[in-house]
Amino acid sequence: MNDIIQANGLTKIYPAGKNHSPLRAVDGVDFTVRQGEVFGFLGPNGAGKTTTIRMLTGLTRPTIGSARILDFDLLSDLTRIKKHIGVVPEASNLYDELTAFDNLVFSMQLYGVPRREWKVRAEELLFRFRLSEKRDTPFAKLSRGMKRALTIAAALSHHPPLVFLDEPTTGLDVMSARSLRQMIAALREQDVTVFLTTHYLEEAERLCDRVAIIVKGRVVALDTVDRLKSNAQQKTVIEVTLANPEGQQEKKRIECDNGVEAEIQHALADANGQRVLAVNTLRPSLEDVFIQLTGLNTEVMLVEKGGKGGGGNAGG
Ligand SMILES: Nc1ncnc2c1ncn2[C@@H]1O[C@H](COP(=O)(O)OP(=O)(O)OP(=O)(O)O)[C@@H](O)[C@H]1O
Ligand SMILES: [Mg+2]
């Protein structure tokens, strides 16, 4: 089995309310997630990311469509699927008054992990998520980043081969987000497949093997970050760094419509005795790809909900 998730035409229609017509929150989505990869679902607020996770984890039923998860059918084998997946929702599902250690034990109890394994597994998870020192601290007293890390640890406590993370770094400060991304990246070594949603382009770029870009309930692109970038690039863009005799530097961006050599010669013809310090080929960022594919300004990705921390936390 190479495909750990296979979604076929997944659709969620929320019925009409007093002031609105029916909404296709997720609209005929097809994708596969391969064993061992970090798969990113990238899209702006309201794109349908959480709804997709809720369908795949059995919290809401697809209106149309089907999915296979770990070779089980989503609609008929949900109980078995639930035993073999970990789910980290946007808001934590752990208990404020329980300590970090006890939350992990409680979670293992729910999943039917044998009692003799509880202590060893809990200590190991605390260590892996850099929480050993907080072993006996109540959940409520942990920092935001530690809460997020412990919630992920709890979702892994029954050793699921597949975990769903809904915006794992939203609302975290730069350092906590970076540290959490390292922990998520390390799951690969544990053979855990990760399905994660994010609205941080840089996060998707750093963390994900493949990325689906979802806008208004539809997948508009799905590929490795590298391939998304090379498909998006239509012409070579070169950046020449020049220095004048006084040592002042200037960068010139050259879009090469007529062949690289001709364009560089043309640009250097009006360089007026400046020295060439560097010539670089510019690669499109995932941001360029996003703008090109969606026609949206990347500002739409910065809308924050609840947590502080701003949209820039994907840096570093
Ligand atoms: N229970 C519901 N009833 C009606 N509409 C809903 C419900 N849940 C979500 N929606 C709507 O469905 C659309 C998709 O919502 P969803 O939460 O899946 O988006 P999202 O991509 O997770 O967004 P965010 O980045 O804000 O978390 C939104 O327009 C939302 O308002
Ligand atoms: Mg969401």
Cβ–ligand 1 distance for 198 under 6 Å, the answer: no
Instruction: Please tell me whether residue 292 adopts helix, strand or coil conformation.
Output: helix
CA distances from 71 to 53, 80, 157 (A): 17, 10, 21
- Which comes out higher in pLDDT, residue 258 or 58? 58
Residue 256 has pLDDT above 80, yes or no: no
Residue 255 has pLDDT above 90, yes or no: no
- Which comes out higher in pLDDT, residue 192 or 298? 192
Tracing tokens 């921390």 back to the chain, one arrives at 309
Same domain, 214 and 297: yes
Same domain, 223 and 240: no
Same domain, 30 and 12: yes
- Report angle CA 299, 46, 150 to the nearest 5 degrees: 95
Which residue range is the domain that position 251 belongs to? 234-282
Asked if residue 92 belongs to a domain, the reply is no
| Ligand located closest to 14 CA | 1
Residue 306 has pLDDT above 70, yes or no: no
Chain segment 132-154, per-residue pLDDT in tens: 999 999 999 999 999 999 999 99
- Which comes out higher in pLDDT, residue 69 or 295? 69
Classify residue 306 by its DSSP letter. S
Residue 222 has pLDDT above 60, yes or no: yes
Asked if residue 223 belongs to a domain, the reply is yes
Asked if residue 145 belongs to a domain, the reply is no
CA distances from 101 to 86, 187, 312 (A): 18, 20, 32
- Which comes out higher in pLDDT, residue 117 or 299? 117
Same domain, 216 and 297: yes
Strands 3-14, 23-34: pairing is antiparallel
Query: Starting from the edge strand earliest in sequence, which strands make up the sheet with 275-282, in order?
Result: 249-256, 236-243, 275-282
- Which comes out higher in pLDDT, residue 255 or 86? 86
Q: Is the dihedral of CA 165, 161, 32, 22 positive or negative?
A: negative
245 burial via Cβ count (<10 Å: 0-12, 13-18, 19+): exposed
Read off the pLDDT of each residue in 80-93 and give the average, rounded to a whole number. 93
Chain segment 28-76, per-residue pLDDT in tens: 999 999 999 999 999 989 999 999 999 999 999 999 999 999 999 999 9
- As for how many domains the chain has, the answer is 2
Asked if residue 189 belongs to a domain, the reply is yes
Cβ–ligand 1 distance for 59 under 6 Å, the answer: no
Asked if residue 297 belongs to a domain, the reply is yes
Same domain, 224 and 241: no
Centroid of ligand 2 to alpha carbon of 53 (angstroms): 9
Phi, psi for 73 (deg, rounded to 5)? -85, 130
Domain containing residue 173: CATH number: 3.40.50.300
Round to whole Å and give the CA distance between 314 and 178. 7
Asked if residue 253 belongs to a domain, the reply is yes
Nearest C-alpha to atom 30 of ligand 1 is from which residue?
A: 46
Instruction: Please tell me whether residue 183 adopts helix, strand or coil conformation.
Output: helix
Domain containing residue 242: CATH number: 3.10.20
Round to whole Å and give the CA distance between 17 and 20. 5
Chain segment 187-201, per-residue pLDDT in tens: 988 899 999 999 888
Q: What is the pLDDT of residue 305?
A: 54
Read off the pLDDT of each residue in 113-123 and give the average, rounded to a whole number. 97
Q: What is the pLDDT of residue 308?
A: 38
Which range (166-175, 261-270, 271-280, 301-310) has the least confidence?
301-310
Same domain, 200 and 245: no
Same domain, 217 and 297: yes
Residue 313 has pLDDT above 50, yes or no: no
Cβ–ligand 1 distance for 303 under 6 Å, the answer: no
Residue 309 has pLDDT above 60, yes or no: no
Cβ–ligand 1 distance for 23 under 6 Å, the answer: yes
Are residues 297 and 291 in contact, defined by beta-carbon separation less than 8 angstroms? yes
Q: Could you give the angle at which helices 144-155 and 100-110 cross, rounded to 10 degrees? A: 30
Same domain, 29 and 53: yes
Nearest C-alpha to atom 9 of ligand 1 is from which residue?
A: 51
| Ligand located closest to 198 CA | 1
Q: What is the pLDDT of residue 282?
A: 79
> If phi over 0 gives left and psi between -120 and 50 gives alpha, with beta otherwise, what is residue 76?
alpha
81 burial via Cβ count (<10 Å: 0-12, 13-18, 19+): buried
Same domain, 219 and 175: yes
15-24 — which CB contacts under 8 Å span 24+ positions?
A: 24/217
Asked if residue 224 belongs to a domain, the reply is yes
Read off the pLDDT of each residue in 16-34 and give the average, rounded to a whole number. 94
Read off the pLDDT of each residue in 79-103 and give the average, rounded to a whole number. 95
Residue 271 has pLDDT above 90, yes or no: no
Which range (208-217, 239-248, 266-275) has the least confidence?
266-275
Round to whole Å and give the CA distance between 83 and 64. 24
Same domain, 188 and 216: yes
Asked if residue 136 belongs to a domain, the reply is no
Same domain, 176 and 270: no
Same domain, 248 and 297: no
Residue of 50, 54, 294 with the most ligand 1 atoms within 8 Å of its CB, for mutation: 50
CB atoms within 10 A of CB 97: 9
pTM value?
A: 0.85
